[in-house]
């Protein structure tokens, strides 16, 4: 199975776009539907791509907490979703791996906070940075949940965005989705 995913906005796709909000930096243009595919799109409003990769920061202990709680995308009841492309600043990328880990996990508690929302929210992280020089984002984050967990997802976003890690986010777009 390909680890490369294209998220393409246009007239077709399984997901209906409910809203597109520029949280930081430039947004993305309005469109009706979003297609998630491993094949490059032929046309459409816009398209972003990212690759599922190995983990960078997770410790063995965190890994052993995450694995039994996390659910894969594609559950029948998970009809609400979000694509949140994120670009971090040059200051973030100038840090060393251990400094980034300290900010993300120890000081911002990203992994500990995220764990509280499993298994309700399914997630998949895609990396863009190593695909080329002209990628508009560093990460494409993908989430799916059942409609009754809408408040939980909003709360999760608010908690992460209030963290020290998010001071390094220079572009973030929130694309809210729904599937029939």
- Residues near ligand HEM (CB under 6 A) are 55-58, 66, 84, 86, 88, 110-111, 114-115, 117-118, 121, 123, 125, 139, 141, 156-157, 160
Dihedral sign, Cα of residue 82, residue 85, residue 91, residue 97? positive
Which residues are CB-neighbours of 179 under 8 A, at least 6 positions away?
A: 14, 15, 16, 79, 81
Q: Which is nearer to ligand HEM, 79 or 141 (CB)?
A: 141
Q: How far is the CB of 43 from ligand HEM (least distance, A)?
A: 28
Q: How far is the CB of 12 from ligand HEM (least distance, A)?
A: 26
- The residues facing 87 across adjacent strands are 171
Q: How far is the CB of 178 from ligand HEM (least distance, A)?
A: 17
Residue nearest to ligand HEM (CB): 114
Q: How far is the CB of 88 from ligand HEM (least distance, A)?
A: 6
Which residues are CB-neighbours of 102 under 8 A, at least 6 positions away?
A: none
Per the CB < 8 A criterion, the answer to whether 145 and 98 are in contact is: no
């Amino acid at each position: 199975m390909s680890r490369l995913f294209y998220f393409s906005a246009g007239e077709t796709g399984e997901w209906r776009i409910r809203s597109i909000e520029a949280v930081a930096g430039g947004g993305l243009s309005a469109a009706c539907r979003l297609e998630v595919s491993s094949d490059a799109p032929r046309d459409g409003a816009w398209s972003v791509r990212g690759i599922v990769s190995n983990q960078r920061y997770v410790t063995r202990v965190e890994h052993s907490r995450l694995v039994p709680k996390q659910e894969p995308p594609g559950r029948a009841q998970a009809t609400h979703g979000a694509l949140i492309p994120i670009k971090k600043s040059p200051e973030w990328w100038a840090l060393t791996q251990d400094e980034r880990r300290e900010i993300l996990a120890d000081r911002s508690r990203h992994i500990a906070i995220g764990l509280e929302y499993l298994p309700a929210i399914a997630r998949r992280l895609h990396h863009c940075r190593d695909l080329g020089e002209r990628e508009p984002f560093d990460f494409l984050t993908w989430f799916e949940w059942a409609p009754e967990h809408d408040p939980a997802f909003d709360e999760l976003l608010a908690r992460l965005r209030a963290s020290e890690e998010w001071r390094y986010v220079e572009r973030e777009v929130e694309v809210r989705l729904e599937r029939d």
